[in-house]
Amino acid sequence: MATLELLRTALLFGLTAVAEIVGCYLPWLWLRQGRSVWLLLPAALSLALFAWLLTLHPGASGRTYAAYGGVYIVVALLWLRWVDGVVLTPTDWIGAGISLTGMAVIALGGSAKVG
């Protein structure tokens, strides 16, 4: 995978993760913190954007979703830190590194033929 394509894919994974998290966070605010029901409208739009962004990823959908999971974990932890203000632990960072390693194995090895 060329460097530019890898960067594009990584950015697309990041945008996809943010769209999914926003789409889930806004209803959480409404349900758990008594915020306005109107948050459901941008939440639905964000989840629609998330679904559309997934279609832009190269490769088989199952492999894309599997690789996306690693990026989602990292973005969710960053959201936890920046939005929720929770200090991340060393095990959070270790888990994120393991997730990204797994994502890289799936994403970069996906074009290899076995057998």
Give me the domain span that covers residue 97: 3-109
What the block records as the tokens of 10 is 């990584």
% of the chain residues with pLDDT over 70: 90
pLDDT tens column, 20-35: 999 999 999 999 999 9
Inside any domain, residue 65: yes
Q: Report the sign of the C-alpha dihedral through residues 29, 30, 31, 32, in that order.
A: positive
Q: What is the helix (H) or strand (E) element at residue 50, kind and residue range? A: helix 40-55
In this prediction, residue 6 carries a pLDDT of 75
Inside any domain, residue 96: yes
Evaluate if residue 1 carries a pLDDT over 60. Answer: no
For residues 58-84, one letter each, b for 16 or more C-beta atoms within 10 angstroms of the residue's C-beta and e for the rest, the string is: eeeeebbebbbebbbbbbbbbbeeeee
Inside any domain, residue 115: no
Inside any domain, residue 102: yes
The number of folded domains in the chain is 1
In this prediction, residue 114 carries a pLDDT of 47
Inside any domain, residue 114: no
Evaluate if residue 61 carries a pLDDT over 70. Answer: no
